[in-house]
């Protein structure tokens, strides 16, 4: 199975941040808000002139997820020129499959390195296009978004055990009658935007089943969702084989996307808050939240959660009613792409919910 942005990249990323590293940095009680200036700093570090976002934690490759995040942050930062460059490169270089979906992985040496799509990348790009259409009143973006959404619905939305679910990629995520799914591919605010398009009813069902699956997919002492899960024909969920059996770099985005879509039910944020408060409160200066937790065993890694992940935990704690349990240090000058992106998205979510970031 080809795995879209998954364990390999996140694994490499993990190696760079040693436990307690962030503790050496001056503590700050709140993450920076996201604004035009934040976008410009982001673009300086990660956006290359030709229009691709570099995954600095991952040997400088680019991928559909990065393009999508970049486009979203560009809209929020009000930078249409940068947005157009990102979208242009994406169309030119990654949309080579012929089915309207985006090849997920590109390397500086070899170009498109895996033609399979990663559904979250497609969704982020389409959602950014819809937001751009609204922000800049440009119908062409909407038309392009609608085409991607249609292709996603045709190839990736499937029914299983009475639930509408999203396959993580076009190929390789069916094992017999069991599906392999990624909980963090439920980008709730994007899904809601797709549901509002003409003929978008199935996307509404995808939201509903996402909440159902997140209630079912709770494992181990912290009751966390796995990065990769299975859903069998009877509706039973499990932890997927063939991936690291853990909660980690993928699933940390689950509370982020829920918050971005306006969900506030503490029940859905509590597992993440529990993890953060258990590890975040004490002797390591509030920064020793582990980056990953094995499931269902609960073994934690020695690698600490990045700044961006801590920003997500801070948000989750607020929504779970656990208060200001997590301290988020400022972004380091060499903070990598993924951590920085999570930090900015968390700030955006907090702003939209009217919470202090």
Partner 1 sequence: MAVMEMAVTPFHRTAGRAALWAALAAATLLTSGCAGWVRDNLTQSATPWRRIQPAALPVTLPDSRDFPIVAARMRDTGTVYKTYNVALGNPTSLAGENRLTVDVQTLPDSLFGALVQPPRVFPVPLYTMETLTATTRREFPDMKVKVADIARRNRYGDYDYATAQDAENSCVLAWQLITDHKRMLPERIEAVRLEYRVCGVGSNIRALLAPFDGLTLTLPETILEVQDLGGL
Partner 2 sequence: MTRPLLLSALILAATAIGGGSDAWAQSNGGARALAPGVKVEVAPAPGSGSAPAAGKVDETALRYYARIGDGERMEAEIARLRALDPGWEPPKDLFAPQPAATGVDESPFWSLLSAGKVAEARAAIAEQRRKSPSWQPSDKLLQELDLAESAGRIRSASDTKRWQEVVDAAAAQPEAVACNRLDNAWRLAEAYAELKQTDRAFDTYKTIVTTCPKAKERRDTIFKASRHLSPERLRELSALGATANPATGEDYSAVRSAEAELETGRLLERLGNAKPGALSAADLSRVQGIVRDKQDADGAIALGWYFQKQKNFAEAQGWFTQANEWTPSDKAAEGLVLAYNGLGDKAQARAAAAPWKGKSSRIDQALKAVDPPRGPAGPGGGRSAPQGPSELDRALARHDFAACISIIRGTIAKSGPTAALLQQRGWCLLELKRPSEAEAAFAEAQTLAAREPAKGGASATGTAPGKAGSRSPAASGLPQTATPAQENAYGQAIARLATGDVTGLTRDLPRANLTATQRAEIRASLMATEAGRALEDKRYNDVLRLLDARKELEPEPRNLGIVRGWALYNLMRFDEAYVQFKSIDDRLSTEESREGLSTAWKTIYHDW
Residues contributing to the site for partner 2 (CB under 8 A)? 208, 211-213, 215-216, 218, 220-221, 261-265, 267-268, 296
Beta carbon of residue 250, minimum distance to partner 2 (angstroms, whole number): 21
Least separation in angstroms between residue 220's CB and partner 2 is 7
Segment contacting partner 1 (CB under 8 A): 83-91, 98-106, 139-147, 229-237?
229-237
Identify which of residues 63 and 245 has a Cβ nearer to partner 2 in the complex.
245
- Nearer Cβ to partner 2 (201/208): 208
Considering only the stretches 31-39, 228-236, 314-322, 335-343, report the one whose residues sit in contact with partner 1 under the rule CB under 8 A. 228-236
Selection from partner 2, partner 1, none that 177 binds (CB < 5 to 8 A by kind) is: partner 1
How far is it, in rounded angstroms, from Cα 285 to Cα 326?
10
Strands, DSSP E only, in 118-215? 157-160, 163-166, 174-175, 178-181
Closer CB to partner 2, 108 or 262, in the complex: 262
If one asks whether residue 177 binds partner 1 (CB under 8 A), the answer comes out as: yes
Q: DSSP string of 32-47?
A: PPP-HHHHHHHHHHHB
Q: How many CB atoms lie within 10 A of CB 118?
A: 28
Taking a C-beta distance cutoff of 8 angstroms, is the pair 104, 120 a contact? no
- Quick one: what does residue 228 bind among partner 2, partner 1, none, with the CB cut-off 5 to 8 Å set by partner type? none
Report the alpha-carbon distance of residue 296 to residue 299 in Å, rounded: 9
Q: What gap in Å lies between CA 301 and CA 26, rounded to an integer?
A: 24
Residue nearer to partner 2 on the CB measure, 11 or 221? 221
- From the candidates 55, 79, 120, 335, give the one annotated as an active-site residue: 120
Q: How far is the CB of 83 from partner 2 (least distance, A)?
A: 29
Q: What angle do CA 22, 23, 28 make, to 5 degrees?
A: 85
**Alpha carbon of residue 123 to chain centroid:** 11
The entry of partner 1, partner 2, none near residue 6 (CB within 5 to 8 angstroms by kind) is none
159 catalytically annotated: no
**Which string of b and e fits 120-154 if b means at least 16 CB within 10 Å?**
bbbbbbbbbbbbbbeeeeeeebbebbbebbbbbbe
159 contacts partner 1 (rule: CB under 8 A): yes
Residue 221 near which of partner 2, partner 1, none (CB within 5-8 Å, type-dependent): partner 2
CA neighbor of 101 nearest in space, from 175, 160, 184, 167: 167
Known catalytic residue: 120?
yes
The closest of 18, 4, 126 to 61, measured between CA atoms, is: 4
Give catalytic residue positions.
Answer: 65, 120
Catalog residues that contact partner 1 under the rule CB under 8 A.
159-162, 176-177, 233-235
């Amino acid at each position: 199975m080809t795995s879209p942005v998954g364990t390999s990249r996140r694994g490499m990323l993990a190696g760079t941040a040693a436990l307690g590293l962030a503790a050496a940095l001056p503590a700050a009680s709140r993450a920076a808000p996201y604004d035009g200036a934040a976008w410009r700093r982001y673009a300086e570090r990660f956006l290359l002139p030709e229009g691709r976002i570099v995954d600095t934690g991952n040997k400088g490759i680019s991928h559909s997820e990065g393009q999508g995040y970049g486009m979203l942050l560009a809209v929020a930062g009000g930078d249409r020129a940068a947005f157009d460059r990102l979208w242009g490169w994406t169309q030119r270089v990654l949309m080579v499959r012929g089915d309207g979906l985006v090849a997920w992985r590109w390397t500086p040496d070899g170009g498109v390195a895996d033609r399979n799509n990663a559904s979250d990348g497609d969704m982020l790009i389409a959602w950014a296009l819809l937001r751009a259409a609204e922000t800049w009143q440009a119908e062409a973006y909407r038309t392009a978004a609608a085409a991607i959404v249609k292709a996603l619905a045709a190839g990736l939305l499937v029914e299983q055990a009475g639930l509408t679910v999203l396959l993580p990629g076009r190929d390789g995520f069916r094992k017999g009658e069991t599906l392999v799914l990624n909980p963090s591919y439920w980008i709730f605010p994007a899904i809601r935007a797709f549901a509002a398009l003409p003929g978008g009813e199935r996307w509404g069902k995808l939201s509903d089943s996402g909440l159902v699956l997140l209630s079912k997919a709770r494992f181990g002492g912290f009751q966390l969702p796995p990065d990769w899960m299975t859903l069998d024909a009877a509706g039973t969920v499990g932890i997927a084989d063939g991936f690291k059996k853990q909660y980690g770099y993928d699933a940390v985005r689950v509370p982020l996307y829920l918050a971005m879509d306006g969900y506030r039910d503490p029940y859905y944020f509590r597992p993440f808050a529990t993890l953060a408060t258990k590890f975040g409160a004490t002797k390591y200066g509030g920064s020793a939240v582990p980056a990953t937790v094995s499931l269902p065993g609960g073994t934690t890694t020695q690698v600490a959660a990045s700044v961006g992940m801590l920003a997500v935990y801070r948000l989750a704690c607020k929504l779970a009613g656990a208060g200001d349990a997590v301290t988020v240090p400022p972004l380091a000058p060499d903070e990598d792409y993924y951590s920085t992106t999570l930090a900015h998205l968390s700030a955006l979510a907090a702003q939209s919910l009217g919470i202090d970031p």
